[in-house]
Amino acid sequence: MQAEIISIGDELLIGQVVNTNASWMAQKLNEVGVEVRQITNISDTPGEILRALAEAETRCQVILMTGGLGPTRDDITKEVLCRFFDTRLVMDQQVLEGIQSFFDRKGLSMTDLNRDQALVPESCTVVPNPLGTAPGLAFFKEDKLFVAMPGVPYEMKHIMENFVLPELQGKNAGHFILHKTILTQGIGESFLADLIEPWVQSLPPQIKLAYLPSPGIVRLRLSMRGSHKEAMQETLDHHIEALKRRIPEYFWGFDDDKLEKVVGRMLLQKSAWLATAESCTGGFIAHRITSVPGSSAYFKGSVVAYDNSIKQQLLDVPEHVLAQYGAVSAETVEHMALGVAKQLQTDYAIAVSGIAGPQGGTPEKPVGTVWIAVAGPRGVISRRFLFGDERERNILRASTAALAMLHKILKES
């Protein structure tokens, strides 16, 4: 079964908003064996919406629309749906009560614009949206399913999880798409490709391989379609084990796992505590670690020592070390790591100091130079990295490199 996602909104076409809704929907559709054939972003105008619906109908059995259902006057999707499905807008009493109770719960009063959100196309199945004011609208036309949903991510997700996915799971029993992604770090895409070439040759034709590089991490995705889920899973697992044996030093996880989660699990197993001391990453490593639920069981905190005075004062980096070697040096980051581990009484500590850019580079220490230290029960080690010119990318790569260093030390100990 194939689906098309139609994302409606000028904000996507002028580049003001990134289409994260479509990615989430695609993931969830895959999980119920529905393949996304196309994602189409179009403008919030009747002509474009009608054209996209007509085109999608020729290709796919499932057509999911997001956006264009808000309370404000720029939203016209509902009227276009009436034209496409040859029906008219009617007031739905149940939806109206839902909107009323939504505002009551928030202690706010309802506006006329909100009241109009209870107008729905007569021939549609209304899908409740307890998280917002615009309901989902489902149309069954011959063997096809069309669903229009609000563009607000958590409202769309609620409608997907409570209506669209169960509906499709029923229709699509016996079809499976399996994906498994292998996460590597510390090796570039083409070097990895060379290294695993014999393994790639050994893959059966029904397994499809894709490379997904991102800053500091290369992901390898294996995909397989079929009707025997268990046999497919066994085949995939067999080839993945063979791959893991080929790249033990680069492999670190699967699928949407994150270094910060893997590291968190390892710390928890060891009942060990972590702290960070961050200069150029400015709190981003602490943020990545604390974005994991339950991280308070192994993460004590961080000192973001953006100013050198803080490095001395809160992290006990001696003044002469800063003066002699500079803030971006092995000596400074090692002192920072040991200092924060002592101050916050932790078993492990990460410290980072570098030049994120765009300013602040020198001939010996150009923009992108980053020193990272990791302290642990066996002492402290440090390493120098040279990333690129882009501030945001440097912060991201430094945080990934730091977590990877900690990961390696935790694995070895």
Task: Scan residues 33-72 and list those touching a second copy (CB under 8 A).
Answer: 35-44, 48, 52, 55, 70-72
Q: Where are the alpha helices (DSSP H) in 39-160?
A: 46-59, 77-84, 93-106, 112-115, 153-159
Q: Choose, by CB under 8 A, the member of 143, 170, 238, 359 that binds a second copy.
A: 359
Please tell me whether residue 177 adopts helix, strand or coil conformation: strand
CB of 40 to a second copy, least distance (A): 6
- 58-76: b (≥16 Cβ within 10 Å) or e: eebbbbbbbbbbbbeeebe
For residues 23 and 88, which CB has a smaller minimum distance to a second copy in the complex? 23
Of residues 193 through 232, those in contact with a second copy by CB under 8 A are 193-194, 200, 208-213, 219, 221, 223
Q: Choose, by CB under 8 A, the member of 1, 17, 126, 240 that binds a second copy.
A: 17
Of residues 294 through 353, those in contact with a second copy by CB under 8 A are 294-296, 299-307, 309-310, 313-314, 343-345
Is residue 376 within 8 Å of 409, Cβ to Cβ? yes
Q: Choose, by CB under 8 A, the member of 25, 159, 336, 403 that binds a second copy.
A: 25
Which of the stretches 78-86, 190-198, 225-233, 371-379 binds a second copy when contact is defined by CB under 8 A? Answer: 190-198
For residues 41 and 235, which CB has a smaller minimum distance to a second copy in the complex? 41
- Cβ–Cβ contacts within 10 Å for residue 216, how many? 19
Q: Which long-range contacts (CB under 8 A, 24 or more apart) does 165-174 make?
A: 165/28, 165/29, 165/31, 165/32, 167/138, 168/1, 168/29, 168/32, 168/34, 168/62, 169/32, 171/1, 171/145, 172/1, 172/32, 172/33, 172/34, 174/227
Of residues 263 through 292, those in contact with a second copy by CB under 8 A are 276, 278, 280-287, 289-291
CB of 143 to a second copy, least distance (A): 22
Q: Choose, by CB under 8 A, the member of 73, 105, 320, 378 that binds a second copy.
A: 73
Of residues 235 through 264, those in contact with a second copy by CB under 8 A are 256
CB of 42 to a second copy, least distance (A): 6
CB of 76 to a second copy, least distance (A): 12
C-alpha angle 387/391/393, rounded to 5°?
60
Beta bridge partners of 127: 136
Number of residues that bind a second copy (CB under 8 A): 106
For residues 25 and 410, which CB has a smaller minimum distance to a second copy in the complex? 25
For residues 23 and 411, which CB has a smaller minimum distance to a second copy in the complex? 23
For residues 140 and 191, which CB has a smaller minimum distance to a second copy in the complex? 191
Is residue 354 within 8 Å of 370, Cβ to Cβ? yes
CB of 412 to a second copy, least distance (A): 26
Of residues 85 through 144, those in contact with a second copy by CB under 8 A are 108, 111, 113-114, 133
CB of 242 to a second copy, least distance (A): 18
Is residue 403 within 8 Å of 364, Cβ to Cβ? no
Is residue 17 within 8 Å of 11, Cβ to Cβ? yes
For residues 209 and 242, which CB has a smaller minimum distance to a second copy in the complex? 209
Of 307, 270, 263, 268, nearest to 285 by C-alpha is 263
Q: Among all chains, which residue has been given the structure tokens 């020198």?
A: 362
Q: Choose, by CB under 8 A, the member of 181, 225, 258, 384 that binds a second copy.
A: 181
**How much is the CA Rg of the chain, to the nearest whole Å?**
26
